[in-house]
């Protein structure tokens, strides 16, 4: 996947997730300016994992850091695993600082969208590093397939984010009756 694909999926992920954020987590994103701020952070989170590639959009914005991360971990290593968010949490704990959920949440949504999208490629993603098992659902074998998968994911995510609440409630009730768990 390239930066455009990841950006589109991250933005669609924010549109899908933002209306469903619970109470306190939703407050910073209320109103047009808050929503736009969340959208921007989610977009950034969608590009962040490719900081490990010096030729990526993120890599070109932060070349020194990108080369260091690439040299230390290679592509689809640390930045594409759960070690990255775990490291962020540990860093805040060591610094004895509270986690700033108001900006970490949209970043995490974008980062997650990137990781999930990369799972659709043949290379997969080593989500559980240091265990070197790559998670993949290889549907995309070339750029045409990647564009198709991107389009489908964007449409699905936008549909969820833009559906009226009443319709979603009706759908949830229908599925609950059909699939009692």
As a 3-state breakdown, the chain gives helix, strand, coil percent values, each rounded to 5, of 70, 0, 25
Residue 131 pLDDT: 87
Q: Average the pLDDT over each of 37-51, 121-135, 166-180 and give the range with the smallest value.
A: 166-180
Tens digit of pLDDT for each residue in 101-122?
Answer: 888 899 999 999 999 888 888 8
pTM: 0.79
| Mean pLDDT of the 27-49 span | 92
Domain boundaries, the chain: 3-178
Model confidence at 174: pLDDT above 80: no
Residue 130 has pLDDT above 60, yes or no: yes
Predicted confidence at residue 180, as pLDDT, reads 55
Nearest to 80 by CA among 112, 58, 43, 57: 112
* pLDDT for res 167: 55
Measuring CA to CA, which residue among 18, 84, 16 is closest to residue 48?
84
Q: What's the rounded mean pLDDT across residues 86-103?
A: 86
**pLDDT over 90 (residue 61):** yes
DSSP label of 48: G
CB atoms within 10 A of CB 58: 23
Average pLDDT over residues 82-104: 87
pLDDT at 166: 56
* CB contact at 8 A, 37 and 104: no
**Of 144 and 46, more confident:** 46
Q: What was the pLDDT predicted at 70? A: 95
Confidence (pLDDT) at 2 = 86
- pLDDT confidence band for 137 (50 / 70 / 90): confident
pLDDT at 164: 55
Cα dihedral across residues 159, 24, 11, 46: positive or negative? negative
């Amino acid at each position: 996947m390239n930066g455009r694909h990841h950006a589109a999926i991250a933005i669609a992920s924010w549109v899908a997730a933002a209306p469903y954020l619970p109470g306190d987590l939703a407050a910073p994103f209320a109103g047009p300016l808050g929503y736009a701020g969340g959208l921007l952070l989610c977009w950034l989170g969608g590009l962040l994992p490719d900081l490990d590639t010096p030729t990526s959009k993120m890599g070109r914005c932060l070349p020194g850091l990108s080369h260091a991360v690439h040299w230390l971990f290679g592509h689809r290593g640390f930045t594409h695993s759960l070690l990255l968010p775990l490291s962020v949490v540990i860093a805040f704990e060591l610094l004895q600082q509270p986690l700033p959920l108001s900006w970490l949440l949209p970043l995490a949504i974008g980062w997650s969208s990137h990781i999930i999208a990369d799972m659709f490629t043949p290379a997969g993603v080593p989500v559980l590093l240091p265990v070197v098992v790559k998670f993949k659902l290889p549907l995309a074998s070339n750029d045409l397939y990647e564009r198709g998968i991107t389009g489908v994911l964007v449409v699905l995510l936008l549909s969820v984010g833009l559906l009226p609440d009443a319709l979603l409630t009706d759908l949830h009730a229908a599925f609950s009756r059909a699939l009692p768990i």
